[in-house]
Amino acid sequence: MATWTTPQESVSDTQPDGAHLKHEFEDVFRNETLARLKLATRGRLVSLAVVSVLVLFLVPRPAVYYYHILIALFALLGILLYRLNRKGPRAWVMDGFIALDFAMLTYTLFSPNPLDTSEIPLQSRFRYDPIVYYFMLLSMAAFTFSPRRMLVAGISAGLSWTAGVFWLVALPGTVTPWNHPPNLTPEQDYIVHLGPLFVDTHMWMQNLIILLLVSGILAFVVQRSQQLVIRQATVTRQRASLSRYFSPNVLDEVMDSAGPLTTVRKYDVAILFADIVGFTRLCETMPPENVMDLLRNYHSRLEAEVFRFGGTLDKFIGDAVMASFGAPQPGPQDATQSLRCAQAMLKTMADWNAERERVGEVPIRIGIGIHYGPAVMGDVGSERCAAFAVIGDTTNTTSRLQSLTRSLDAEIVASQTLMDAVQRESPDEKALFDSFEDAGWQTIRGRQNAMHVRVLRGVTSEIGITGISELS
């Protein structure tokens, strides 16, 4: 049965499958936190190295040495944060360090430099766009790939920026748009704004709003990036899973559609059952590992034929293989393709048996049952683990027809219903069914009425060559 989740469905907490996948990927993101933190630490050190060179041109000696000390302290904090989370990321530690980073940045930008002998007022520092350093730290938070941590960084930056500006406003003699003298001429107002004690609180508010908006946008971008990664990984996983059940052309239709497997439908399909004759007795003579190797080779060969003829591999049941033709999408030649597939399976087994005989291994004989009729198809199972299944009387009958291959000594037992469908679909391809013999009406276990069947007998290597050579 083909496990399925609609690829177009978004991963959300409102759907059990989506919630399960979301939590699974969140665990992956958490496990990758250390790698991202390591990358963020490297980016931090490189940025601080650039800033340390930049301040050499902006701040005279010996005042620049004070900033170099603070820059070194920033570097040590980044390294300490990485080391504290090496044994496992701790959210409160990372959030605390983010807040500490912005608090230290505010102290660096707005506190007096003890090595600075100039008498330039602290208020004048507001003129040199200190907000750009907040944006630099804010960008580092994006490395965490966490929307919540991005918001924490934005709020911490906004609070620290506000605290620094209000510290300047509280200094004696500070002039702001809120307290500068009224009724000034344009010339006087211009002089006040250029004064060393003026702090433009309007600019503070503008920068604060932009800072919060940018952090919100970055948080949204990080969240969308997470969702994109989850969605793409989910679709990739689904495609890898479904590729085991559907042929490539059917798989493309399934993945491109808006969830064809979620709706329960009923229409005519062709069902094929195949298994190894005498498998139980064969297993008694072989070591378990050899049995598994035999099954893998056997399954892979039959799977290739199912896919080659556009069928769906519904399931493996030990040595039994169930395939359907016309599910999940009906086609114009479903019955014909199932019959072609059955004959191709016999030829494949004949070729494999030739290889086995050359190395002294026992040849494998299979029995195949095919039937055509109405079946119900759709998802079955739980919300957490759904599976696509083709069920109904047609499926059960096909399994019984496959069992008849023993008593009728036939490689293929096909219902007359299937043969009639093949004649309707491909009236000119008589070679497909000319080799079949009429086996009359047979009693089918579990059914009240007998069923008219046709059989294919003979040496496997000589069966079905007509009509198959062009397909091989």
* DSSP codes of every residue in 51-82: HHHHHHHHS-TTHHHHHHHHHHHHHHHHHHHH
Question: How many domains is the chain built from?
Answer: 2
> Do 228 and 277 fall into the same domain?
no
> Do 202 and 323 fall into the same domain?
no
> Do 233 and 348 fall into the same domain?
no
Return all residues near 201 (Cβ < 8 A) that are at least 6 apart.
Answer: 165, 169, 176, 177, 178
Q: What is the DSSP secondary structure assignment for residue 246, as one 8-state letter?
A: B
The confidence score (pLDDT) of residue 221 equals: 86
The confidence score (pLDDT) of residue 201 equals: 82
> Do 162 and 71 fall into the same domain?
yes
CATH of the domain at 320: 3.30.70.1230
- Of 205, 239, 273, the residue at which a domain comes to its end is 239
> Do 335 and 188 fall into the same domain?
no
> Do 235 and 278 fall into the same domain?
no
Is residue 171 within 8 A of residue 95, CB to CB? The reply is: no
H or E stretch at 372:
strand 366-381
The confidence score (pLDDT) of residue 384 equals: 59
> Do 192 and 126 fall into the same domain?
yes
* b/e code 407-429 from CB counts within 10 Å (16+ = b): ebebbbbbbbbbbebbbebbeeb
Is residue 364 within 8 A of residue 308, CB to CB? The reply is: no
Which pairs count as long-range contacts for 167-174, CB under 8 Å and 24+ apart, including other chains? 167/110, 168/110, 168/122, 168/123, 168/125, 168/126, 168/199, 169/199, 169/201, 171/121, 171/122, 171/123, 173/121, 173/123, 173/197, 174/123, 174/198, 174/199
| C-alpha distances in Å from residue 233, one per residue of 6, 136, 239, 379 | 13, 31, 10, 22
> Do 364 and 434 fall into the same domain?
yes
Measured CA to CA, the distance from residue 91 to residue 79 in angstroms comes to: 17
Q: What is the DSSP secondary structure assignment for residue 175, as one 8-state letter?
A: B
Q: How buried is 460 (Cβ within 10 angstroms: 0-12 exposed, 13-18 middle, 19+ buried)?
A: buried
Return all residues near 251 (Cβ < 8 A) that are at least 6 apart.
Answer: 239, 242, 243
Structure tokens given for 397: 């009958």
- Of 239, 274, 290, the residue at which a domain comes to its end is 239
The confidence score (pLDDT) of residue 257 equals: 56
Is residue 156 within 8 A of residue 104, CB to CB? The reply is: no
> Do 296 and 149 fall into the same domain?
no
> Do 151 and 202 fall into the same domain?
yes
Residue 11 within a domain? no
> Do 409 and 376 fall into the same domain?
yes
Measured CA to CA, the distance from residue 401 to residue 342 in angstroms comes to: 13
The confidence score (pLDDT) of residue 459 equals: 44
pTM for the full model?
A: 0.54
- Secondary structure of the chain: what % helix, strand, coil (to 5)? 60, 15, 30
Domain span including residue 447: 260-462
CA geometry: angle at 271 spanning 267 and 276, to 5°?
Answer: 165
Is residue 284 within 8 A of residue 412, CB to CB? The reply is: no
Residue 252 within a domain? no
- Of 176, 206, 239, the residue at which a domain comes to its end is 239
Measured CA to CA, the distance from residue 375 to residue 398 in angstroms comes to: 12
Taking the chain (472 residues) in runs of 10, the rounded mean pLDDT of each run is: 36 43 57 70 84 85 86 85 71 80 85 78 78 83 80 89 86 80 72 76 87 89 80 72 61 57 76 91 85 91 90 85 86 92 94 91 92 84 65 90 91 94 88 86 86 81 38 35
For residue 28, the one-letter residue type is: V
Is residue 334 within 8 A of residue 270, CB to CB? The reply is: yes
Residue 17 within a domain? no
Residue 419 within a domain? yes
> Do 325 and 206 fall into the same domain?
no
Residue 93 within a domain? yes
Is residue 180 within 8 A of residue 194, CB to CB? The reply is: no
The confidence score (pLDDT) of residue 12 equals: 38
